[in-house]
Amino acid sequence: MSEPSALPSQNDIMDRQQDDIVARQYEAWVYPPPIHDMVDAITQGYYEYADIQAGGPIFWPRRRDFNDLDILIAGCGTNQAAYTALRNPSSRVVAIDISQSSLSHSQYLKDKHGLDNLEVRHLDLMAVASLDKSFDFILSTGVLHHLKEPDRGLQALRGVLRPAGVMHLMLYGKTLRQGVYLLQEAFRLMGLGQSKEDIDIVRKTLTALPGRHSVHAYLNAKDAAEELKYDTAIVDTFLHGRDRAYSITEIFDFVEENGLAFLGWMDRLDCSGQANFPANDAISKRIKRLDERKRAAIIDLLAYTHGVHRFNLCHPEYLQSLPRIDFEGTEFLHYVPRPHSRLKVSWTRPADPDSPAILEREWHLMPISHPQALLIEHANGRNTIAEILGLLDGQSMTDEEKLHLARQTFATLYDMGHLLFSVF
Ligand SMILES: C[S@@+](CC[C@H](N)C(=O)[O-])C[C@H]1O[C@@H](n2cnc3c(N)ncnc32)[C@H](O)[C@@H]1O
């Protein structure tokens, strides 16, 4: 008889998966709803949050370009593999999933768009070491919270992350999804499975709920209603075989207990006290001096900001080598800011003193002064902040006033995630 081995083999893991409730669900109900032409979809505005090209400095504040990377997508579902390969043509993408139906759709998109830089593999992420490769970027969104042992899943991914690599995760959040879990429990008690009839009962229940039910916070959130038109989204949200959610505190514990370091949120807007509870408000003042984690936890508890947490991780040693973005001294004058890809600033020209410029992104809208709008206009990913200040010559301000304006404006827009900063 052979000795039992400490680690299960790839075959053992895949065999076990055949019986797994999550594997069976994603075989029958692929997620997200398949996109049939990714080039068309991107032209019409489709995007993924963790887009390496758009998010650049959020992942690597010291990199000048974001090409020639080895990318792993762990639990790619239907569309993410093709999207990532298309958006990163000079990088190599390996996409794995336990659902053969999802992989078939990824393969269809690969063939359709001639994506030679994409490899799709039927593989459980617990067995990712069997690829015998390491990666600069690991993307795993909406996957680890479905595992029996999310900690072991994260450890497996950590094992294939290069020393200066970055991992992006999306995990469910507790606050906004509170009502979802109440409904999941009710549907379990009703004995619902994942059949068409069961989906129909969910839909009927959603229309019959009293206005006071906490699920309405979730149903009214951006994109939820559009998503839930699809049966697969009803299954994924309300009839899932296994999912769990994380509070902000649990996110940090999850990361650190599994040997990784928290690099930052994908979008700082949802955790920003100034954006959620505008300045001068009692809440903003009270939490201003707390550390970033506590502030984020408080904002989430008060504002229900997190249906999901999107965040980036790296090895602790790599984090040590990175600059801390900080606007206290004068170091920030060397930062190179660029706008978030979906930031809009509108103002009338020539500047009308009676109508401020308007800054807008996602759910956030804020009036800003014309000199602030000018600062943002010159934040193009090439100029340092010192150079941008040099471009403000036409404005009747002393050097000290300009410095003050820059510090206050860039610190605020960093806090809200509206500008991204590189440090070379
Ligand atoms: C909610 S979908 C998310 C798909 C994709 N990441 C996205 O955000 O569009 C979850 C996917 O993870 C896959 N999955 C679940 N457990 C997995 C595991 N242990 N290894 C690899 N893939 C897994 C499922 O088959 C499914 O395709």
Residue 400: in which H helix or E strand, if any?
helix 399-415
For 271, residues 6+ apart whose C-beta sits below 8 A from its C-beta are: 265, 292, 295, 296, 299, 300, 305
> Is cis: bond before 350, omega within 30 of 0?
yes
Pocket test for ligand 1, best of 30, 96, 98 (most atoms within 8 A of CB): 98
- Closest protein CA for atom 12 of ligand 1: 75
Ligand 1 near 409 CB (within 6 A): no
Quote the pLDDT of residue 237. 95
Residues 27 and 98: their CA atoms lie apart, in Å, by 8
Which ligand 1 atom is at minimum distance from the Cα of 79? Answer: 9
> In angstroms, what is the span from residue 237 Cα to ligand 1's centroid?
14
pLDDT band at 329 (very low <50, low <70, confident <90, very high): very high
Asked whether the predicted pLDDT for residue 304 surpasses 90, the reply is no
Output the DSSP codes for 360-382: EETTEEEEE-HHHHHHHHT-SSS
Asked whether the predicted pLDDT for residue 316 surpasses 50, the reply is yes
Quote the pLDDT of residue 344. 97
Ligand 1 near 84 CB (within 6 A): no
Asked whether the predicted pLDDT for residue 34 surpasses 50, the reply is yes
Ligand 1 near 75 CB (within 6 A): yes
Residues 55 and 77: their CA atoms lie apart, in Å, by 21
187-191, 197-201, 248-252, 352-356: least confident range: 352-356
**What one-character DSSP code corresponds to residue 173?**
B
Mean pLDDT for the stretch of residues 219-241: 92
Q: Which domains does the chain have, with CATH numbers?
A: 10-175+243-320 (3.40.50.150), 178-238 (no CATH), 331-422 (3.90.930.60)
Ligand 1 near 98 CB (within 6 A): yes
Tokens of 230: 């699809």
